[in-house]
């Protein structure tokens, strides 16, 4: 199942939940539950979620709707740094012995087609293609063996980063969490349709040029391990997002560095999870 948040072109501002058809040509609305802003939609144990499995709000062609961010305002965006072996090598840093977590905020979220806005004073904005894990059931102190039952599904994510802010501050919050610096979408693919999330091609194209190209098999800490690890110290809730790290080819590692700029177009593509496209603009 491919879960979408969307609005009809004729009714902008009215977010709804639905399911993308298998051929990608239509959206079936799941009406009758709480608002599309309500994270209860993502709780697999809720009656509201059952409406997604049997949507009754009618079907509409894909060109009649605008897809929105797959998750509206997650309670937590728990990003994992240096989680690809090939990226750690590229960054000339040691392989982490345990996951390195940093946070983005709900206001960082934007959706497919939305502009990533470079904040005032940022001169070194960068891209990072990532696979995001979406939590579907409350998780606290879960084991690695049981962790996957708490995963709703997966989505494309772009961990946009202000490198000058990040490196100057010595900690990462300001550099990682500006508004629009967490594009996610175009949909959530439920875990039953992704038998092995750790064997998916992941790439990023900048203005049509492939600058990142790897596979999630390079993950140092896999999905189950990350969910279990994070649940030891915080309660994971439906709709929480775990971006799992980026492969090599990020902008700061190029010679000369390849910073994004207004007018650029970024495309994150992950095998089976679609293409997340975002333009870049100035503040």
DSSP states of 167-203 = HHHSSSHHHH-STT-EEEEEEEEEGGG-S-TTS-EEE
Which residue, of 67, 88, 115, is where some domain finishes?
67
Residue 72 lies in a domain: no
Residue 110 and residue 90 share a domain: yes
Residue 264 and residue 141 share a domain: yes
Residue 235: which CATH number? 3.90.850.10
Domain count, the chain: 2
Residue 175 and residue 104 share a domain: yes
Residue 112 and residue 9 share a domain: no
Residues in a beta bridge with 277: 267
Residue 62 lies in a domain: yes
Residue 164 lies in a domain: yes
Residue 218 and residue 187 share a domain: yes
pTM above 0.85, yes or no: yes
Residue 275 and residue 165 share a domain: yes
Which residue, of 46, 67, 88, is where some domain finishes?
67
Structure tokens that stand for 97 in this block = 């012995």
Residue 261 lies in a domain: yes
Residue 234 lies in a domain: yes
Residue 83 and residue 27 share a domain: no
Residue 113 and residue 44 share a domain: no
Which residue, of 32, 67, 102, is where some domain finishes?
67
Q: Where are the alpha helices (DSSP H) in 93-217?
A: 163-169, 173-176
Range of the domain at 15: 2-67
Residue 22 lies in a domain: yes
Residue 271 and residue 150 share a domain: yes
**pLDDT given for residue 56 in this prediction:** 83
Each residue's pLDDT tens digit in the chain (283 positions)?
999 999 999 989 899 999 999 999 999 998 876 666 666 656 777 777 888 888 888 899 999 999 999 998 899 999 999 899 877 777 777 888 999 999 999 999 999 999 999 999 999 999 999 999 999 999 999 999 999 999 999 999 999 999 999 988 888 899 999 999 999 999 999 999 999 999 999 999 999 999 999 999 999 999 999 999 999 999 999 999 999 999 999 999 999 999 999 999 999 999 999 999 999 999 9
Residue 190 and residue 103 share a domain: yes
DSSP states of 29-63 = E--SSS-TT-GGGG-TTSHHHHHHHS--S-EEEGG
Residue 206 and residue 107 share a domain: yes
How many CB atoms are located within 10 Å of the residue 167 CB?
Answer: 13
Residue 122 and residue 63 share a domain: no
Residue 150 lies in a domain: yes
Q: How far is CA 124 from the centre of its chain?
A: 22
Report yes or no: 70 and 4 within 8 Å, Cβ to Cβ: yes
């Amino acid at each position: 199942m491919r879960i979408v948040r969307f609005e009809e072109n004729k009714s902008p501002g009215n977010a709804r939940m639905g399911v993308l058809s298998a051929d990608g040509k239509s959206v079936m609305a799941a009406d009758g539950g709480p608002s599309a802003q309500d994270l209860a939609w993502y709780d697999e144990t809720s009656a509201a979620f059952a409406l997604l499995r049997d949507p009754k709000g009618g079907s509409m062609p894909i060109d009649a709707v605008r897809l929105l961010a797959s998750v509206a305002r997650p309670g937590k965006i728990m990003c994992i740094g240096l989680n690809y072996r090939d990226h750690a090598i590229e960054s000339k840093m040691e392989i982490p012995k345990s996951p390195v977590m940093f946070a983005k905020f709900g206001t960082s979220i934007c959706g497919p087609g939305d502009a990533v806005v470079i904040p005032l004073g940022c001169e070194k904005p960068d891209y990072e293609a990532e696979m995001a894990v979406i939590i579907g059931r409350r998780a606290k102190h879960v084991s690695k063996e049981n962790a996957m039952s708490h995963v709703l599904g997966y989505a494309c994510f772009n961990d946009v980063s202000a490198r000058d802010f990040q490196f100057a501050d010595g900690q990462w919050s300001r550099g990682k969490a500006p508004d629009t610096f967490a594009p996610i979408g175009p949909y959530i693919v439920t875990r039953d349709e992704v038998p092995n999330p750790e064997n998916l091609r992941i790439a990023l194209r900048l203005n049509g040029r492939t600058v990142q190209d790897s596979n999630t098999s390079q993950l140092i800490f896999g999905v189950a391990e990350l969910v279990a690890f994070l649940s030891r110290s915080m309660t994971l809730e439906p709709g929480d997002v775990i971006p799992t790290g980026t492969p090599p080819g990020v902008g700061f590692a190029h010679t000369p560095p390849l910073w994004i700029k207004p007018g650029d177009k970024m495309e994150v593509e992950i095998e089976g999870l679609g293409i997340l496209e975002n333009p870049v603009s100035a503040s």
